[in-house]
Chains A and B, each alone.
Chain A
């Protein structure tokens, strides 16, 4: 789960949290900029060499056991490759990683991964099934206090190992009949489990990794990826992280000699990052929303402007469990009272796309533009009708929770104005740093919350169950509908692709269309600037990071 703290374009202020946000769930930086075209064609022509300089915020962690937000993921994915990978592109495509091939039983509860032989960690140790067992166990064990262990919730033995204190010391669902066969047993059907095995927490670790508290490994993890921590250095907190190419990598060798991450302070990070780019101090940057038009007009004609639709959504999370918005009609009134297009034009300089679905367009066949087309548009008259039906009377106080470190102030003020004007309610703004806002949301102490979500893995399920499933960890709005839960169970069970697709689409229609338990606002369009005269092969990967595996000097 990655909540994103930044809502997209605004991010001016606080990205640290946004890091969190981003990383954690979504990255927040959605904001990045708008732009232009993707330059995938350039990749083929790149030469070898060069050091690519990137600005990031202080990561929460780069050790796979707890890598959870955008900044840490950026570094971690360079250092580690899991069973599968979707790092090299921003498509809904998964490729073999350490696993060459894999298979599953009829009810999708047992998965067998066949690992490639001879792939090595950068310390020379071979990557075997044991490396995965070590990595997963190390992350899930209760004493590690990992915030991303939940990705493996459905693996047998998770409960015992993850308990605090743990009642088991081994992960009973994992086994290695031989060094190159890794078997995972699940406690519930999940026919898309393979797609989850590219997320950082599922990385293999060498036998020298120790437990999660091993500070040496936390700050200079030894991995099996395209790059490695520059020998003799480590993560210098709030300063920098330097990587060099791993010449022993089993797959496509990267072109770059190295990557220099400069860590910028949270306050005003996005601004600083962009200004560093304009000053020539970094090679790649996100764009502060306020500077979007300026960046676009300057860099688009030069071909230095990157625009990509990403796997994320910005939405309003209503409190469906209690308070004035427990009624679906009241939630629809909120959705109808907000003028997404006017805010996009006025505040975001037209860089966003108004959303009418929770599962965003890059999901291709799963995407349904009509999910909430009736209510995800501006119609103050209908809004009033729904408010009356839903008992949302004028004068009702609505607490709007947002993170005040992501530059969302203009957005929430526009919402407040429109809701108050169109519905006669009173909106109380409640801004907190991202980490605190997440805690507040966990407690259900809000009526409306600004929220963002980025995919952890390329599955549509990742947009539905975590956010709307009964009791799911990130379902802070407390939505609960048995029919929805049944559709999720069905979609996860061994059914045909067309049945799975239908179950997912029906579930989305039900929760987002009929019940308005999530109010989509904008799709997650990302923008970046870079120097196309100097670098080729630049685009964004699934995690919204630059495709560092294909970038090379011109």
Chain B
């Protein structure tokens, strides 16, 4: 997990530069354009710096490929992922079966492709869930402070105390196996870091001058939080969330590997590695390809997360 330092974000109004090019979207018509000066929004600036980061672009392409595989699985896969063929079990990779076949004669290539669906679904859904919980609680904790802060942060401490996988297994034992329990269990054990990050970020931003200005202009609490504080404190949270998607994908694979994730017949990378490990040393293709799929996807998300961090960090500007 990448340590992300809370950063002082730029003021919300578009920064005006004289630099040409990079016409941002969301340009606001204002005096600057009238004067013929290209205005650059914060988002445009971030985007520009992100795309200058080579590894980030590579990561984006990798993540894009995984999404493509997930969306277009039926088109890319050469066979239905659950179709068994007991006359063709444990076949080495060949032109008919690019990644070979497993113990039940299922096509490994098709299963790896379909496995991306579980990885992407679980990775994104669990982090979105963590974001919803973490951002809400983090904002309440950071902005309202006092009793709220104490209660929420101590609760977060409790969740910190559980190792992710152990906590998730406990939840799954109660709820049963399947995609939804995995998403929920990973979500509820990932929110605490998000809440903490956001809280510390808010603590510094709520004292910023522009917030004070808004307050002195008579803006309500709700407006200040949603329009000024949150948008400017989210950067570290977003970076963390992006990297957490990778963590969640690994965690899901680990859960399935341990027999606590999705059902064993579901094409899933963790399931495939688990089934393949007993052939370690003489049918290595069984665990190699699904393992590579995990590595590829996780690296993609980490590269994107790194690029995003660099792009959002004003000190690197």
Contacts and interface: CB of A to CB of B under 8 A. Distances in A.
B84 A413 contact: yes
Contacts of B84: 413-414, 417
- The bracket for how many chain B residues form the interface is 20 to 34
B279 interface: yes
Interface in B17-41: none
B216 interface: no
Contacts of A268: 277-278
Nearest to A429: B263
Contact of B86 (A12, A342, A404, A407): A342
A412 B103 CA distance: 12
A347 B102 CA distance: 9
Contacts of A345: 86-87
B55 to A, nearest CB: 37
A416 interface: yes
Contacts of B283: 290
A429 B265 contact: yes
Interface in A341-390: 342-343, 345-347
A339 B265 CA distance: 18
A410 B86 contact: no
Contacts of A407: 278
A220 to B, nearest CB: 35
B44 interface: no
Interface in B258-293: 259, 263-265, 275, 277-279, 282-283
Nearest to A289: B278
A429 B264 contact: yes
A196 B151 CA distance: 63
B5 to A, nearest CB: 40
A294 interface: yes
Contacts of B275: 409-410
Nearest to B89: A346
A435 interface: no
B104 A413 contact: yes
Interface residues of A, number: 26
Contacts of A409: 264, 275
Interface string A312-349: 00000000000000000000000000010011011100
Secondary structure dominating the interface of B: loop
Contacts of A339: 86
A347 B86 contact: yes
B105 interface: yes
B86 A414 contact: yes
B82 interface: yes
A418 to B, nearest CB: 8
Contact of B259 (A288, A413, A414, A431): A431
Interface in B129-162: none
B263 A342 contact: no
Nearest to B258: A267
Contacts of A404: 259, 264
Contacts of A12: 278
B103 A290 contact: yes
A291 interface: yes
A288 B278 contact: yes
A290 B104 contact: no
A271 interface: yes
B86 A413 contact: no
Contacts of A294: 282
A349 to B, nearest CB: 8
Given A342-B86, A404-B259, A431 B104 contact: no
Contacts of B86: 339, 342-343, 345-347, 414
Contacts of A13: 259, 278
A371 B86 CA distance: 27
A414 to B, nearest CB: 6
B254 to A, nearest CB: 14
Given A290-B278, A342-B87, A416-B265, A410 B103 contact: yes
B104 A271 contact: no
Contacts of B89: 346-347
A417 B82 contact: yes
A12 B276 CA distance: 11
A12 B280 CA distance: 12
B110 to A, nearest CB: 15
Contact of B104 (A288, A291, A405, A414): A414
Contact of A291 (B88, B263, B278): B278
A338 B85 CA distance: 14
A268 B265 CA distance: 20
A79 to B, nearest CB: 33
B87 A347 contact: no
Interface in A275-296: 288, 290-291, 294
Contacts of B277: 268
Contacts of B264: 404, 409, 412-413, 429, 431
A159 B82 CA distance: 52
Contacts of B279: 290-291
Contacts of B282: 291, 294
A268 B82 CA distance: 25
Contacts of A413: 84, 104, 264-265
Interface string B91-130: 0000000000001110000000000000000000000000
Nearest to A11: B278
A4 B197 CA distance: 51
Contact of A347 (B82, B104, B278): B104
A416 B105 CA distance: 15
Contacts of B82: 417
Which one of B82, B87, B88, B89 has the highest number of Cβ atoms from chain A below 10 Å of its Cβ?
B89
B154 to A, nearest CB: 34
Nearest to B177: A431
Contacts of B88: 346
A271 B278 contact: yes
B88 to A, nearest CB: 8
Contacts of A414: 84, 86, 104
Contacts of B259: 13, 404-405, 431
A294 B87 CA distance: 18
A346 B104 contact: yes
Interface string B244-268: 0000000000000001000111000
A431 B261 CA distance: 11
Contacts of B265: 413, 416-417, 429
B207 to A, nearest CB: 52
A424 to B, nearest CB: 16
Interface in B47-96: 82, 84-89
Interface in A398-415: 404-405, 407, 409-410, 412-414
A346 B101 CA distance: 11
A347 B263 contact: no
A413 B83 CA distance: 11
B285 to A, nearest CB: 14
B259 to A, nearest CB: 5
A52 to B, nearest CB: 26
Nearest to A344: B86
A290 B282 CA distance: 10
A60 B212 CA distance: 68
18 contacts: A268-B277, A288-B278, A290-B278, A339-B86, A342-B87, A345-B86, A345-B87, A346-B85, A347-B103, A404-B259, A405-B259, A410-B103, A410-B104, A413-B104, A414-B104, A431-B177, A431-B259, A431-B264
Given A290-B283, A417-B265, 7 more contacts: A345-B87, A346-B89, A346-B103, A405-B259, A409-B264, A413-B264, A429-B264
Smallest CB-CB A-B distances: 4 pairs: A346-B86, A342-B86, A346-B89, A290-B278
